[in-house]
Chain A
Amino acid sequence: MAMQVERVVEEAREAFESGGTRSYFWRRSQLRALKDLILESEIAICDALMLDLGKHRVEAFRDEVGLLTKSVDHALENLKKWMKPEKVSVPLVSFPSTGEVVPEPLGVILIIASWNFPIGLSLEPLIGAISAGNSAVLKPSELAPASSKFLATSLPKYLDNKAVKVLEGGPLIGQQLLDQKWDKIFFTGSTRVGRIVMTAAAKHLTPVCLELGGKCPAIVDSLGGSRDIKVAINRIAGAKWGFCSGQACIAIDYLLVEEKYAPFLVDLLKEKIKKCYMRPGHLTRIVNKKQFERLREILEDPLVAATVVHGGSLDQENMFIEPTILMNPPLDSEVMTEEIFGPLLPIITLKKIADSIEFLKRRPKPLAIYAFTKDGQLKKRIVEETSSGSVTFNDAVVQFVVESLPFGGTGLSGFGKYHGKFSFAEFSHGKAVLKRSFLIEISLRYPPWSEAKLQFIRYFYTLNYIGMLLVLLGLHRYTST
């Protein structure tokens, strides 16, 4: 097994070192092939997601097939522009010269994907790695076996299988992969494994991009007009139960609401659940038994169970958990200390909505903060006083779709950013290139040093031209120190 891993990595490195992956044409052909793969396999992808997670076809299309198509199109459209060296202005000190930052591929990339969006979170970083001219090895999550299998069988058929490899497997393969030397590791998953990945990377001084999670709160202010609150409820419910049943790193984890507003909100949420998320096939199931048991334990803590105001039923046979609302579960219970990653929605009430700022500042930085409010002052305070991967006002999850925005965490939610040109940058080294000519030589640059040279340079830095001239002409009297 270890031999196989080594061979795969070696082949990927050979492919990179042959120089083939650097050309614009290779990158474009791979992106086009990836697009063909996605478009031609729409049904196969949806089937795999149905098997792995019971994901509804529309959800699968919206979050994985459709988004990937959009990303790959965006990369194809912008590739030339991204690859272009960026000219920079050069200061007088090194005149005459030209400076530029040349994006250069890093080499061989390892992508470790997660199971909740098993196709999207595998191929989205791959788009970036290919765009930047790298070779790559992808390890899909073994917890979404149908998707993993799909990737392992179809990627080699469409893409240059010398430079882009898929290795299936669990923690054992993962560990063997981490023992190899990479030029970048891109990891999506938990903080626990994130630490393992970074520790392994340190051995080879490999830079890492860690896409982790955290508890993403949604602050819900008292919204005036009944239309606005309806829209907000749509979006909150969608961002909790409509994305892989809450098993998403940017799903809403819990709500922060003013005490007096909470009962009204709960009623509206209950109504929404009944209308939209109780139909068969419209709610993703829990990925596996282990996760199911984890959620059950969280929910069965007596102090937590006592706070259920809606739902709470579990269907072990089909691995469904009903959309569940909890009102003020204890802040030290697991449901409020760990990332939930499932369809449970705690509501924490506050005296005043502005108290949410302090509440968030005392907790680890989440991947996203959401706030439904029209209060400009509150918005300003959230942006300026709290920290999180991203902030979205009056909506949730959609920030993931905006490719002009970097996607990534901060603090415990990870580091490094991707999507659009940020993916390209993440998988590139910005090489500083400065070109000089042999013309114009200032002998004052060279030893032996003298006070006159020092004085000249001092004037040079302050752009005192007269002073410089005087020194050059030997007319300046400097104070010797």
Chain B
Amino acid sequence: MGEDGKLPGVGENAGDVVSGLRERFGSGKTRSYEWRAAQLKGIIRMIDEKEEDIVAALKEDLSKPKLEAFVHEISLARSSCVLALKELKRWMKPEKVSSMLTSFPSSAEIVSDPLGVVLIISAWNYPFLLAIDPVIGAIAAGNAVALKPSEISPSTSALFATILPNYVDSSCIKVVEGSVPETTALLEQKWDKILYTGNAKVGRLIMTAAAKHLTPVVLELGGKCPLVVDTDIDLNVTAKRIAVGKWGSNNGQACVAPDYIITASSFAPKLVDALKNSIEKFYGENPMESEDLSRVVNSNHFARLGRLLDDEKIHGKIIHGGERDEKLLKIAPTLLLDVPDDSLIMQEEIFGPLLPIITVDNVEECFDVINSKPKPLGAYLFTRNKKLEEKFVKTVSAGGILINDTIMHFANPKLPFGGVGESGIGSYHGKFTFDTFSHKKAVLHRSFVGEVSARYPPYTARKQKFLRALLTGNIVGLILAIFGWPRS
């Protein structure tokens, strides 16, 4: 941020950004279907035309393999935008609901109102998807938008600042680059909604800042996502799905990546072998040289992960991997067995390629382990046992639950994506994003006929009787009351 408070990317200060956006929103421009559709089309065009630039930026920021960039970011963002465009008319349509007797005759509907000017603060691990996906929903809902991409993935941030204004109406959709001072300046402003993706610590700061203006927030946080492996499984498929969900998802730097495994101690050796096998199949004998693994984002995170590995309490627990290359910021897929619960690695979200395995005598004990920790964003279970599956769905509280696979629920726009408790507030994806950025306005139409004088003073005993019948839906009582019939 310049000394004059000017923000990079837009060349104006935070207050001007918001007042400019508010003025555009106030003009009503963003409300029309045509405007919304044009912006969404612009984003699809941007994705199609700039695919290579996006892949390159992700490569620079994270050494993200091209296929991962394509599958997890580009194509998910594109299909999200295509879906929004296709469904937009339907989403925007007021929903008729039945009104009822008391205020008869009337008709009622729920209208989706844009909230106004919204702020989206995105994360560095999926820096393209996690920025553009909420923007798509905010536009679909008819809002003016400011996007603050993460400064920790500078290439993608710069890419947004350069290309997005060429494809969308830049008077209503702005990209503000920057780090803590810029974000702080933005948070001082009044927004109509803030969507933040990141960690719980910053989440608290965001919500505290939002409270000053009574701004509702969506907080997409993380947490330690547990993965439970029963003995009754297809081991080969299980190991592959775990490996792709952990190391194939930005090398574990994903909020829905499995954080730790719980399995029966008798089964652990088999599982470990299968996982080692999958790692080798996916990333070769020397994963440090594999092109198919993302690197650790920066030296801070590299040092943080190093601290987790160097913790005295897990001495001798590494059973696979553990190699690190500080210069290349690479850490190999690493398995740890039987780490103690009070070790650093079990106390914080790992967000990297380390995968501890906790063993229990009986897999049913997983519930105690999971429930002793804050509610995670996702919880995974691999089993063929329907009873265990049912119990898992019922007793584990998490943002989402996925049985016999990893990450997949993230890609389903029909499912709300979001946390609960420490893993966040609010949800999005598909129509849920549209709803998140809309106010559901109740609209009641009444006519002047059907006046019920019992509503007004002077109040009499008969009026009270009438009201009692009306409110309790007692039709007979109602008719009796209308005719002044005595009721026993």
In the complex, chain A residues 159-201 whose Cβ is within 8 Å of any chain B Cβ: 183, 191, 194-195, 198-199, 201
In the complex, chain B residues 357-410 whose Cβ is within 8 Å of any chain A Cβ: 384, 389, 393, 397-405, 408-409
Let me know if A215 is at the binding interface, CB within 8 A.
Answer: no
> What chain B residues lie within 8 Å of A135 (beta carbons)?
none
Best-buried of A390, A393, A399, A449 by chain B (most CB within 10 Å): A449
Contact B283 A447 (CB under 8 A): yes
Contact A392 B446 (CB under 8 A): yes
Let me know if A36 is at the binding interface, CB within 8 A.
Answer: no
Query: Would you call the interface of chain A mostly helix, strand, loop, or mixed?
Result: mixed
CB of A451, distance to nearest CB on chain B (Å): 9
A390-B441 CB under 8 A given contacts A205-B200, A447-B283:
yes
Identify which of A277, A406, A431, A458 contacts B440 (C-beta below 8 A): A406
Identify which of A58, A62, A210 contacts B214 (C-beta below 8 A): A210
Contact B444 A395 (CB under 8 A): yes
Contact B203 A205 (CB under 8 A): yes
Identify which of B66, B240, B442, B464 contacts A58 (C-beta below 8 A): B464
A447 to B249 Cα, complex, angstroms: 11
Contact A242 B456 (CB under 8 A): yes
Contact B404 A205 (CB under 8 A): no
B52: nearest residue on chain A (CB-CB)? A481
> What chain B residues lie within 8 Å of A94 (beta carbons)?
405, 408, 411-412
Best-buried of A61, A67, A276 by chain B (most CB within 10 Å): A61
Identify which of B28, B207, B451, B457 contacts A277 (C-beta below 8 A): B457
In the complex, chain B residues 232-290 whose Cβ is within 8 Å of any chain A Cβ: 233-234, 237-238, 240, 243-244, 248, 278, 281-284, 290
> What chain B residues lie within 8 Å of A93 (beta carbons)?
408, 411
Contact flags A238-266 to B (C-beta < 8 A → 1, else 0) = 10001000000000000000000000000
Let me know if A146 is at the binding interface, CB within 8 A.
Answer: no
B378: nearest residue on chain A (CB-CB)? A432
> What chain B residues lie within 8 Å of A104 (beta carbons)?
397, 420
A414 to B192 Cα, complex, angstroms: 11
> What chain B residues lie within 8 Å of A57 (beta carbons)?
459, 464
Let me know if B415 is at the binding interface, CB within 8 A.
Answer: yes
B400: nearest residue on chain A (CB-CB)? A432
A61 to B208 Cα, complex, angstroms: 40
In the complex, chain B residues 59-95 whose Cβ is within 8 Å of any chain A Cβ: 65-68, 70-71, 75, 78-79
> What chain B residues lie within 8 Å of A99 (beta carbons)?
409, 412, 414-415
Contact B398 A417 (CB under 8 A): no
A447 to B411 Cα, complex, angstroms: 18
Let me know if A296 is at the binding interface, CB within 8 A.
Answer: no
A472 to B424 Cα, complex, angstroms: 41
Identify which of A101, A199, A406, A415 contacts B110 (C-beta below 8 A): A406
> What chain A residues lie within 8 Å of B304 (beta carbons)?
none
Contact B79 A393 (CB under 8 A): no
A415 to B116 Cα, complex, angstroms: 14
> What chain A residues lie within 8 Å of B192 (beta carbons)?
411
> What chain B residues lie within 8 Å of A14 (beta carbons)?
none
> What chain A residues lie within 8 Å of B444 (beta carbons)?
390-393, 395, 398-399, 402, 405
Interface locus among B118-126, B133-141, B335-343, B467-475: B467-475
> What chain B residues lie within 8 Å of A242 (beta carbons)?
455-457
Report the interface size class on chain B.
Answer: 35 or more
B205: nearest residue on chain A (CB-CB)? A202
CB of A422, distance to nearest CB on chain B (Å): 8
Interface locus among A309-317, A348-356, A438-446: A438-446
A449-B468 CB under 8 A given contacts A202-B204, A205-B422, A394-B448:
no
B423: nearest residue on chain A (CB-CB)? A205
Contact flags B8-45 to A (C-beta < 8 A → 1, else 0) = 00000000000000000010100100000000000000
CB of A157, distance to nearest CB on chain B (Å): 23
26 A-B pairs with CB atoms under 8 Å apart are A61-B468, A66-B467, A67-B471, A69-B471, A73-B472, A183-B421, A198-B210, A199-B212, A201-B207, A205-B200, A205-B204, A242-B457, A383-B111, A394-B445, A405-B442, A406-B442, A410-B115, A432-B415, A434-B405, A435-B402, A436-B408, A438-B384, A447-B67, A447-B282, A448-B290, A454-B70
Residues on A facing B (Cβ under 8 Å): 56-59, 61-62, 66-67, 69-70, 73, 88-91, 93-94, 97, 99, 101-102, 104, 106-107, 183, 191, 194-195, 198-199, 201-203, 205, 207, 210, 212, 223, 227-228, 231-232, 234, 237-238, 242, 276-277, 279, 282-283, 361, 379, 383-385, 387-395, 398-399, 401-407, 410-412, 414-417, 429-438, 441, 445-449, 453-454, 457-458, 461, 481
Task: List 16 additional contacts besides A59-B459, A395-B444, A433-B401; criterion CB under 8 Å.
Answer: A70-B472, A88-B412, A99-B414, A195-B211, A282-B459, A389-B441, A391-B442, A392-B443, A392-B446, A405-B442, A410-B115, A435-B389, A445-B244, A448-B282, A457-B67, A458-B75
- Closest 5 A-B residue pairs measured CB to CB? A58-B459, A202-B207, A198-B211, A432-B400, A66-B471
